[in-house]
């Protein structure tokens, strides 16, 4: 049991929903939350992602496959704050007549409230470096590869840690002639470990259809959680669950008054769909998320209800109703009794003795 526990602690989570997250040797890092914005205008796709990580490493890297050549830049954290505000649930109060669990007398406490995710030419080299740039805390390399083993060698030579089992996972992307964005990141303070929300990074590339790369997440050692905002001309949805729990729509609607960073990003793609998904067993992830337009643009917003017992002047209405009914019944019974007691008593008819026989 001790050996199992030790192995469980030191085993790193190599993947996140956006690609493969790789820590330094003998260190660990896990992605506790991934939030991304995917914008698709019919020709070009943009992905802005922010990862929340935990671990003891001071350097890490992730690899993300993309269907065509990508441009990389720093993202804007304000976009996620605006999205959180735009998709926040609506809080409403609803009242019930009869007491429920938590209401007196069912608990005796008197508490009546309850809170309620370019094709490479045949002559391309085994690994090609399109570009390498520094973006804040990120060292970003845009790569092409026709051989996952050659990609492994390049990454190791250039300071990227790359688990051997990732090579097989990349093969489907190599077969489809995708390209790769490799990112090394380190905290701004020297010697500090990577923890909390990282700076967002922004990618843009041509796309025949909106796709969110997820296949590499099957290498993760811990359950994965995906929050995906989709900006498009219409309401969108994933084609399938790709091995996770069914995706849940948490918001759908038009951003008519979006301003600032979100307004600039949403220009031309005013419909926002927010999807959440859990992957309890990442090894079951079988594909990337391909998105499609839904049959209609029906809006949706989460509503969180706070249930309260219906009261008047601090008294439960059900108690007043029952008490009032009992008082009324008693009053009617008393009235009937009083009226009955006041009715005149009719004397019996006189009794006449029979006439004598004679």
Average pLDDT over residues 248-266: 88
Calpha distance 130→140 (Å, rounded): 11
Q: What is the pLDDT of residue 65?
A: 92
Instruction: Assess whether pLDDT exceeds 90 at residue 302.
Output: no
pLDDT of residue 236: 97
Please state, for a pLDDT cut of 90, what percent of the chain lies above it. 31
Confidence (pLDDT) at 343: 66
| CB-CB contact of 167 with 149 (8 Å) | yes
pLDDT on residue 16: 54
**Higher confidence at residue 223 or residue 288?**
288
Query: Which ranges of the chain would DSSP assign to H, the alpha helix?
Result: 2-10, 77-86, 148-157, 166-175, 260-266, 317-341
- Pairing outcome for strands 29-40 and 224-232: parallel
| pLDDT over 50 (residue 7) | no
Residues facing 201 on adjacent strands = 49, 74
Neighbours of 246 (CB within 10 A): 9
Q: Is the peptide bond before 316 cis (omega within 30 degrees of 0)?
A: no
Structure confidence by residue, pLDDT tens digits, 204-235 = 999 999 999 998 888 877 788 888 999 999 99
Helices within 249-316 (DSSP H only): 260-266
**Whole-number Å distance between alpha carbons of 295 and 283:** 31
Residues in contact with 76: Cβ distance below 8 Å, sequence separation at least 6, in sequence order: 48, 200, 202, 261
pLDDT of res. 231: 96
- The answer to whether 91 and 114 have CB atoms below 8 angstroms apart is no
Average pLDDT over residues 146-168: 77
Provide the pLDDT for residue 313.
Answer: 73
Confidence label for 161 from pLDDT (cuts 50, 70 and 90): low
Going by pLDDT thresholds of 50, 70 and 90, the confidence category of residue 336 is confident
pLDDT(338) > 90: no
Can you spell out the DSSP letters for 187-214? -SSTT----EEPPPEEEEEE-SS-EE--
pLDDT (0 to 100) of residue 239: 96
- Name the residue with higher pLDDT: 7 or 37: 37
Please give the mean pLDDT across all residues of the chain.
78
- Structure-derived torsion over alpha carbons of residues 205, 209, 212, 215, reported in degrees to the nearest 10: -110
Rounded to 5 degrees, what angle do the CA atoms 18, 120, 125 make? Answer: 100
206 token code pair: 């041509």
Strand partners, 147: none
Residue 20's pLDDT is what? 54
Write down the pLDDT at residue 315. 74
DSSP label at 325?
Answer: H
Percent of the chain scoring above 70 in pLDDT: 74
Output the pLDDT for position 30.
61
Answer with the residue of higher pLDDT: 338 or 41: 41
In a 3-state reduction of DSSP, which class is residue 311?
A: strand
Q: Are 147 and 185 in contact (CB under 8 A)?
A: no
pLDDT at 34 over 70: yes
Residue 110 has pLDDT above 70, yes or no: no
Q: Which of the pair, 86 or 19, is modelled with greater confidence?
A: 86
What six digits make up the tokens of 103? 């209401």
pLDDT of 31 reads: 63
In this structure, of 3-7, 31-35, 315-319, the range with the lowest mean pLDDT score is 3-7
Q: Which helix (H) or strand (E) holds 107?
A: none
State the Cα angle at 83 between 81 and 88, rounded to 5°. Answer: 100
Measured CA distances, 132 to 135, 141, 184, 199, 235 (Å):
10, 4, 11, 18, 36
Give yes or no for residue 251 having a pLDDT over 60: yes
User: 171-195, pLDDT tens digit by residue?
Assistant: 899 999 999 998 887 666 666 666 6
Residue in this structure with the two tokens 């990349």, named with its chain if needed: 170
Q: What is the DSSP string of 146-195?
A: S-HHHHHHHHHHTT----TTHHHHHHHHHHTT-EEEEEEE--SSTT----
DSSP letter (8 states) at residue 284: G
């Amino acid at each position: 049991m001790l050996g199992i526990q030790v192995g469980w602690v030191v085993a790193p989570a190599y993947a996140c929903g956006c690609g493969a997250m790789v820590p330094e040797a003998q260190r660990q890092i896990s992605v506790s939350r991934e939030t991304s914005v995917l914008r698709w205008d019919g020709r070009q796709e943009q992905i802005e992602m922010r990862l929340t990580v935990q671990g003891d490493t001071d350097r890490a890297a992730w690899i993300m496959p993309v269907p065509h050549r990508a441009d990389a830049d720093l993202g804007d954290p304000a976009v996620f704050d605006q999205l959180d505000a735009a998709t926040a649930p609506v809080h409403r109060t609803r009242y019930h007549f009869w007491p429920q669990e938590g209401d007196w007398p069912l608990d005796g406490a008197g508490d009546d409230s309850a809170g309620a995710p370019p094709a490479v030419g045949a002559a391309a080299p085994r690994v090609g470096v399109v570009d390498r740039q520094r973006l804040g805390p990120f060292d970003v390399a845009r790569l092409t590869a026709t051989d996952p083993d050659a990609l492994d060698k390049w990454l190791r030579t250039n300071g990227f840690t790359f688990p051997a089992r990732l090579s097989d996972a990349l093969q489907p992307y190599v077969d489809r002639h995708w390209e790769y964005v490799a990112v090394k990141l380190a905290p701004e303070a020297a010697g500090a470990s990577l923890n909390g929300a990282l700076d967002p990074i922004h990618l843009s590339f041509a796309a025949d259809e909106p796709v969110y790369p997820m296949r590499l997440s099957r290498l993760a050692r811990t359950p994965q959680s995906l929050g995906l905002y989709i900006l498009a001309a219409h309401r969108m949805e994933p084609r399938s669950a790709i091995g996770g729990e069914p995706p849940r729509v948490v918001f759908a609607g038009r951003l008519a008054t979006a301003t600032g960073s979100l307004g600039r990003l949403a220009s031309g793609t005013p419909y926002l769909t927010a999807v959440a998904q859990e992957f309890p067993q990442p090894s079951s992830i079988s594909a990337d998320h391909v998105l499609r337009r839904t049959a209609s643009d029906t809006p949706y917003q989460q509503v969180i209800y706070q249930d309260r017992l219906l009261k008047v002047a601090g008294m439960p209405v059900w108690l007043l109703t029952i008490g009032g009914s009992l008082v009324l019944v008693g009053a009617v019974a008393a009235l009937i009794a009083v009226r009955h007691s006041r009715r005149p008593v009719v004397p019996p008819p006189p009794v006449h003795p029979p006439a004598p026989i004679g």
